[in-house]
């Protein structure tokens, strides 16, 4: 297997808090951008095939369980 995952979106309600947590946890930086009405913090990684972002906006609601379990 060349790639375990391709793109991961983590829904958040408090972008500032989430960025602080994930940047410290994963030891990485993020690139902030806006897409439509959503705010994104894209993980700055070298492997463009295995990355993701934090996303805040309508329809992106954090959950205690992964989407596939709900």
Q: The tokens of 16 are what?
A: 């500032």
Mean residue pLDDT of the chain comes to 86
Query: Of 67 and 39, which is predicted with more confidence?
Result: 39
Tell me the average pLDDT across 25-46.
92
Give the global pTM: 0.78
The domain ranges of the chain are 7-69
Report the distance separating Cα 16 and Cα 19, nearest Å: 5
Report the distance separating Cα 57 and Cα 70, nearest Å: 20
| DSSP tag of 48 | T
- What number does CATH give the domain 7-69? 3.10.180.10
pLDDT digits (tens, 9 = 90+) for 38-64: 999 999 888 777 788 999 998 888 877
């Amino acid at each position: 297997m060349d790639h375990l995952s391709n793109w991961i979106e983590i829904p958040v309600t408090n972008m500032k808090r989430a960025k602080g947590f994930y940047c410290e946890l994963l030891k990485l930086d993020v690139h902030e951008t806006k897409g439509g009405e959503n705010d994104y913090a894209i993980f700055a990684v070298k492997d463009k095939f295995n990355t993701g972002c934090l996303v805040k906006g309508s329809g992106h609601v954090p959950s205690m369980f992964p989407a596939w379990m709900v």
